[in-house]
Structure 1
Amino acid sequence: MQEAIIHLPMFDNDGKPIGAIHDWLKRELCKLFGGFTSHHATGGWIDPTDEGKVYVEQVRRYIVAASPDFAERNEKLKALAYEAGLRARQVAVYWRDFNGTVSIDYIAPEDLMPTMPNA
């Protein structure tokens, strides 16, 4: 078995809690990987498009495990991470694949809907 990780902020960019999106992600992780472990963390980043403003935010870190025999595991995790970032109306999503490669995938502005349902 190998582990992979998705980080998802606790609040959207307007400061509103996104608990329903976390609930959705938990269900999807269980469907795909049979379960998850999560814990709170604090993350920070610099926005190069906003005069180098530093953002610090509370995140939930989701850890899943899968066998190397699960050939599509990285593709499925990447799609799930992107969908979680999209639903949470994030600029980008941070995740680590089962091979240990870390990615920060930017959410395409045209993918964002004006308002996303919370579930």
Structure 2
Amino acid sequence: MQIKRSRERIVVDIPIVVTTVLDSLEGTIVDLSEGGAQVVGCTLPPRSQCQLDLDGHVVFGTVRWSEEDRMGIRFPYELVDGPLFDKLELARGGRRSPVPFQPRFTAPAMGGGFGRRAV
């Protein structure tokens, strides 16, 4: 069953620290949106409250689902600023930026092109 999401998830690779009242775990965000993230490399039980720490900036969340080595975290407030939002925007921009036009090499008017002998 496909779930209709209100925000587009963007593929990222962001190492973070997930902290609870009892523990700190290292993980990696592999997809991110303004409303939540999928974290691999660690897991917590569903409905656990946690915080994601990136470069000293904290984002709070609740574990919505959990598997053996990954979990989905929903943010109570959408990301609108901070380092995590900046990385999301950077990943989103890189994905949408067009490939710049590169004109083909044209030979100079005199003497032929590169690597060719002048006749």
Q: Relative CO higher for 1 or 2, CA cutoff 8 Å, sep ≥ 6?
A: 1
Higher helix share: 1
Normalised TM-score (structure 1) = 0.27
Question: Between Structure 1 and Structure 2, whose CA radius of gyration is higher?
Answer: 2
Q: TM-score, normalised by structure 2?
A: 0.27
